[in-house]
Amino acid sequence: MPSADNGPVVILAGGGCLPRQLADHLLSEGRTFRLLAFRGFADRDVRARADAVVNLLDLKAIEAQLRIWKPALITLAGAVHRPSAAALFGAFTLFANRQEIRTIISKGDDNLLRGAVSILEGNGFRVTGVHELMPGVTASVGVLGRVMPTVEDRAVISVGFRVLQALSPFDVGQAVAVSGERVLAIEGPEGTDRMLRRTNAVQRHFFLSRPSLRGALVKAAKAGQDLRFDMPAIGPRTVREAHKAGLNGVAIGAGTSLIVDIDETIAVADRLGLYLVGAIPPWQESKIMERADA
Amino acid sequence: MPSADNGPVVILAGGGCLPRQLADHLLSEGRTFRLLAFRGFADRDVRARADAVVNLLDLKAIEAQLRIWKPALITLAGAVHRPSAAALFGAFTLFANRQEIRTIISKGDDNLLRGAVSILEGNGFRVTGVHELMPGVTASVGVLGRVMPTVEDRAVISVGFRVLQALSPFDVGQAVAVSGERVLAIEGPEGTDRMLRRTNAVQRHFFLSRPSLRGALVKAAKAGQDLRFDMPAIGPRTVREAHKAGLNGVAIGAGTSLIVDIDETIAVADRLGLYLVGAIPPWQESKIMERADA
């Protein structure tokens, strides 16, 4: 059994500042950890303080490293669902041909990450979610900043959640931009930031000048999503991009989404006049009801 | 009653070459018609041969013109669902403020066009679909070009239709790009061509070089969609963009989608090696079954 209760937490570090935040959190708790950064994904400063840097698709190297460290727990922190050219270049050297990579990737983000987790578990490792190690990082229910959403804003949020619910059986993004009853954009493999930039372009096309249409970014984990990987996340940059896209608020699934750098995220929302709401998506509500009934 | 049985067909002409194609078709049938082109949408050559050019949102001018012509039938041909800056500039002069326009547009394409049709009908006009006037323009069932889709291709098409089905309650685009089980892009207000350019960018990001991943563009009318306006359409350019996006086929809803310039569309698909398929979407299938049962 490679997992040992007295072993370190291993952070498999993808993009963004979440790996750094988690590392700092574990440090503050005095918990032993190792940082394994994915080449082409992890930020430069995360790579700089990493104990090892590996290629995302080099499962042999990852496993060998894990067997040395004997982790109590492994967690995936940060985005890895948009392999960059650099990451794939690395991976190409390990496979017979590009077709193999294409086959893996064509099956979608969900399958890719689910596959990685089940390989790790199949090898006896214990995999946990970032939210289990750092509970305060998930969005709580309610209005998180100073700006209150209006009744109309709440209707927009509801449309967004319903779109995400309809899409949950499919391997597609976790976010949607809605204005009124109109769906402005649905996230694909490009990620939330790029989707918001597209929304910006659409809005400009409609309104000539700087967009100022009301609307919301709605982001949430899918129904039944394994929160140990690819947990929806927002941060200060998300709020800035939402503002640029002409939206006046951000709603995220409470309890199942991460807010990276929460103080700064709220400060940015307050400064730009956007509401920031943690809400229970409809599919989550019924789950809570079921639990209450049981 | 403004509609007269011996009156002309009035073509309300939006973008693309469909209005021209319909006008030529009616001409070849010896049917009297009038061409009312929307400023900012109709192509230059359509505007040049139009009997009148109006602003899309200038309902008073449109109605006045229609009362003069006393049409037997009115039909909407060509895209109007992405108001250009020019069109909106025109409209702004007719409304008290931008907010009013924003309110109309925020309700979405469907509502905008449905509203226009019901205003016309409320005034006693008869509105019909392009497919009623030119039956050969809709996609028929089956493989339309020389390239046959494989079993894998058919699985991809099926994912595409299921995504569109899930989204049908919402005001969002009619097309989706799918590769394997992964949804590469869902059309928003930007339209199919721009969605495909985005797919291209996503594919390039994944594969470094010219994309060559298999995948399909799937486009179909929504369940219960009123086919008198905003009928899904493809043409030669759509096939070219799908090819550039790294897709190897196009599937459209048979009977409820238009193929503009069908000979050239098939020729382009054959030349580029893409399959072109007219398929009955799952929600349409059950409808056909219901009818058969009745």
pTM of the model: 0.81
Note the pLDDT tens digit of each residue in B206-250: 554 444 568 999 999 988 888 887 788 899 999 999 999 989 999
Note the pLDDT tens digit of each residue in A235-254: 999 999 999 998 999 999 99
Note the pLDDT tens digit of each residue in A82-119: 554 445 555 555 544 555 555 555 555 555 666 677 77
| CB pair distance less than 8 Å for A183 and B183 | no
Amino acid at A231: M
* Burial label, B224 (beta-carbon count in 10 A; 0-12, 13-18, 19+): exposed
| CB pair distance less than 8 Å for B180 and A84 | no
Residues paired with A277 in a beta bridge: A143, A251
Residue B83 is encoded by which pair of tokens? 């108001």
CA distance A120 to chain B (A): 23
What's the mean pLDDT in A194-219? 73
- Chunked into runs of 10 residues, chain B (294 residues) has average pLDDT values of 75 89 94 93 92 83 91 88 52 53 56 70 89 89 96 95 94 90 88 87 56 82 83 92 94 92 95 96 67 45
Q: pLDDT > 90: what percent of chain A?
A: 48
Where b means 16+ CB within 10 Å and e means fewer, B151-182 reads eebeebbbbbbbbbbbbbebbbbbbbbbbbeb
The pLDDT, as a whole number, for residue A294 is 42
Chain A CA closest to residue B189? A184
The pLDDT, as a whole number, for residue B93 is 52
Cα-based angle B181, B187, B188 (whole degrees, multiple of 5): 140
| CB pair distance less than 8 Å for A182 and B107 | yes
Note the pLDDT tens digit of each residue in A120-169: 888 889 999 998 999 888 899 999 999 999 999 999 999 999 999 999 99
| CB pair distance less than 8 Å for A181 and B213 | no
Amino acid at A163: V
Contacts of A183 in chain B (CB under 8 A): 108, 170-172, 188
Give the whole-angstrom CA distance, residue B209 versus residue B232: 31
DSSP A166-196: HHTTSB--SEEEEETTEEEEE--TT-HHHHH
DSSP B257-270: SEETTHHHHHHHHH
The pLDDT, as a whole number, for residue A104 is 57
CA distance A134 to chain B (A): 31
The pLDDT, as a whole number, for residue B293 is 46
| CB pair distance less than 8 Å for B208 and A88 | yes
Residues of B with CB under 8 A from a CB of A: 82-85, 88-89, 98, 102-103, 105-109, 111, 159, 162-163, 166-167, 169-172, 179-186, 188-190, 198, 201-202, 205-208, 213-215
DSSP A98-120: HHHHHHHHHT-HHHHHHHHHHHH
**How much is the ipTM here?**
0.77
The pLDDT, as a whole number, for residue A103 is 59
Kindly tell me if the per-residue pLDDT of A214 is higher than 70: yes
**Long-range pairs of B57-62 with CB within 8 A, sequence gap ≥ 24:** B57/B87, B57/B90, B57/B91, B57/B94, B57/B95, B57/B101, B57/B104, B58/B90, B58/B91, B58/B94, B59/B116, B59/B119, B62/B12, B62/B36
